[in-house]
Structure formats: C-alpha cells, structure tokens
Copies of this chain bind each other. A is one copy, B any other.
C-alpha cells in the first residue's frame, strides 16, 4: 500500500520534482488500474479540482518515461495507465469494450522475448496482448 510519502520518494528517486499534480496522478493510477487519461483527469480533479488536463498529460508522460507508471495502448483504443511496473506481465483486452485485465505470462519469466529472426532490429521488449471478449461482453454477444 503506497502512501503520499512513498510517492514522494518514488519521484525523488527518479530525480523528478515533487508536485501536487504528480502525486495526485500517481495516486489516481494506483487507485484506478487500466484507467484511460480522461478517467485519470477526473480522479485527479477530486483532489485538485483545478488541474489542467495538460498537467495530467505531462505528468503521465513524465512518469511513464521515468518508469513509475506504464502506458498501455491497445490498437483502436485510447491510452491507459497502470502502476504495476517492472514485472513483465501482459494484458487481456476486450475487443468490444476495451477493458483490460492483467495476465501473467504463460511460459514464466520473459517468455517470447526472443524473435526467431530480428531482421537486424535491436529488440528490447516483447509485448504480448491477448485479444478476446470480457465476461460481460461475452454474455451480451450470445444473447
């Protein structure tokens, strides 16, 4: 369970200034995993009603670059963010509503990280997205 003090340390550790918007964004991302930017703006404004959307966009970009949050952007959907970082987990995405759930990799640690032929690319990450229907949409589809 992270507290405001922890968030301060995280920011300090990343050589970032500790600002109210950033603390609020960290808190919002932790409280609402897989939330899109608009939802995060809403959550942040419960604490700081006057933050500009730009401040949230900037904070998210900065925090993502610092590795404190992770940006997820499934094809055809808007960007979403999560605070679970550094454990190389993957995601299940609903084709219908875009909802996201975490999925640990089937094969264990860093599974499909090696392409059979890298075409001369310097590969630093393998991203796996499982596409399907979430329980809710799956039910509606059948009815």
A interface residue numbers (CB < 8 A to B): 71-76, 79, 90, 92, 94, 101-107, 111-112, 114-135, 138
**Number of copies of this chain that the complex holds:** 2
- Residue of B79, B118, B129, B130 touching A118 (CB-CB under 8 A): B130
Using Cβ atoms and an 8 Å threshold, which residues of chain B touch A130? 115, 118, 121, 123, 125-127
Please state if A132 and B128 are interface contacts (CB–CB under 8 Å).
no
Question: In the complex the two chains form, what is the Cα distance from A43 to B26 in whole Å?
Answer: 45
Using Cβ atoms and an 8 Å threshold, which residues of chain B touch A71? 75
Please state if B120 and A134 are interface contacts (CB–CB under 8 Å).
yes
- Residue of B79, B119, B131, B134 touching A103 (CB-CB under 8 A): B119
Smallest Cβ distance from A88 to chain B, in angstroms? 12
Question: In the complex the two chains form, what is the Cα distance from A112 to B113 in whole Å?
Answer: 11
Smallest Cβ distance from A36 to chain B, in angstroms? 13
Please state if A90 and B115 are interface contacts (CB–CB under 8 Å).
yes
